[in-house]
Amino acid sequence: MLESAPPSRILLSGRAKPILRPTASRRRSTLQRTLKNPIHCTGIGLHSGAKVSMTLAPAEADTGVVFVRTDVLAQGGAPERAEIAANWRHVADTRMCTVLANEQGTRLSTVEHLMAALAGCEVDNLRIEIDGPEIPVMDGSAAPFVFLIECAGTMEQSATRRAIEVLKPVSFGDDRRHATLEPADGFSLAFEIDFESQAIRRQECTVAFDPHSFRAEIARARTFGFIHEIEALRAAGLAKGGSLDNAVVVSGDRVLNDDGLRYADEFVRHKLLDAVGDLALAGAPLIGHYTGARCGHHHNNKLLHQLFADDSAWRWTTLEPAASAGAWNRVAVAANA
């Protein structure tokens, strides 16, 4: 089990906010990484309720993350119909989860938790074979996927790791609900939520992102929902596989899960986890600071659209670790492509 140390606290704008700082861990990789060995799991889809089997398999350098619907192949579909690249351009739906689709219309739902785990473990290249329309929810967090990656092991490849450096602020949304990216050293995220339920209320959290801080402070945060919304969600074809085993369920001002919360502010930490997964669809690590306020998958995807629509807002760069944790030195810049 992954354990979390209590976050340090500093006073910002008159409120005590958790500032989750990375601590010493393995050397940050400047080379691309993939898995050493394939690894398999089974589970159910959070929204579809369907049982699925999934295999994470090594991939060559510069492949990126590619999903393969093996059930489509089994039905005689061509490889291009079964393959879906993990990319912001392929996001087809953002209601309650992030859904990818290829040009042939093949879809795959709820990719954000797995994508967050890959970003947190710095896995760049992977072939993910799955025999159904949705990534298994596991326990509702990214921790089971981190465990799978650790069991399979990772290895460096010969190709240099590239990143996307944010050069000027971009945003999407309005004064109340918005997502923003702005220039920074390294990658960091901040999120704010505000619910009427006394079980959640207002929560704010900021994290300086690296593999250690992700594993310790974000990966175990579970998805959450409200019991009064379940019937409507199921009527819309969503949350069919949801249960107390894979989500934090709130009823009025109470958390219904017998084991309670994994973190006192687990709700906002899960929103950070979702943001990490959604932003991983940029196709490379980001160098910049993300801020989200009362927003979700829709805002995160539109934020990437805003970023890449303006060539002056970003650039490709290659990396070497900086002296400070979580930061990077930019050592080379390539033209945007």
The string of pLDDT tens digits covering residues 171-185 is: 999 999 999 999 999
> Among 20-24, 62-66, 73-77, 99-103, whose mean pLDDT is lowest?
20-24
Q: What is the mean pLDDT of residues 193-200?
A: 96
Rounded CA separation 168/39 (Å): 40
Position 321 scores a pLDDT of 60
Nearest to 181 by CA among 312, 283, 21, 314: 314
165 pLDDT above the threshold of 70: yes
At 296, is the secondary structure helix, strand, or coil?
coil
Position 216 scores a pLDDT of 97
In the chain, residues under CATH classification 3.30.230.20 are 32-159
CATH superfamily name and code, 32-159:
lpxc deacetylase, domain 1 (3.30.230.20)
**Among all chains, which residue has been given the structure tokens 């005689």?**
76
**Among all chains, which residue has been given the structure tokens 């298994």?**
136
What is the DSSP secondary structure assignment for residue 29, as one 8-state letter? P
In the chain, residues under CATH classification 3.30.1700.10 are 8-29+162-334
pLDDT in tens, 78-129: 889 999 999 999 999 998 899 999 999 999 999 999 999 999 999 999 999 9
28 pLDDT above the threshold of 80: no
At 276, is the secondary structure helix, strand, or coil?
helix
72 pLDDT above the threshold of 90: yes
Is-contact 37 105, C-beta < 8 A?
no
Among 47, 90, 297, 299, which one carries the catalytic annotation?
297
**Which residues, listed in sequence order, are joined to residue 321 by a DSSP beta bridge?**
328
And the tokens for 249? 């369920």
Half-sphere exposure of 159 (CA within 13 A, CB side): 15
Position 17 scores a pLDDT of 55
Position 5 scores a pLDDT of 31
Nearest to 53 by CA among 122, 165, 128, 2: 128
CB atoms within 10 A of CB 15: 9
203 pLDDT above the threshold of 80: yes
End-to-end alpha carbon distance in the chain = 41
Catalytic residue check, 40: no
Rounded CA separation 3/62 (Å): 33
What is the DSSP secondary structure assignment for residue 251, as one 8-state letter? E
Average pLDDT, the chain: 88
Domain 8-29+162-334 class?
A: alpha beta
Is-contact 86 111, C-beta < 8 A?
yes
Please give the C-alpha separations between residue 286 and each of 93, 182, 215, 295, 310, in angstroms, as whole numbers: 23, 11, 18, 19, 16
Angle, helices 266-279 vs 112-120, to 10°: value is 80
pLDDT in tens, 255-305: 999 999 999 999 999 999 999 999 999 999 999 999 999 999 999 999 999
And the tokens for 305? 């659209």
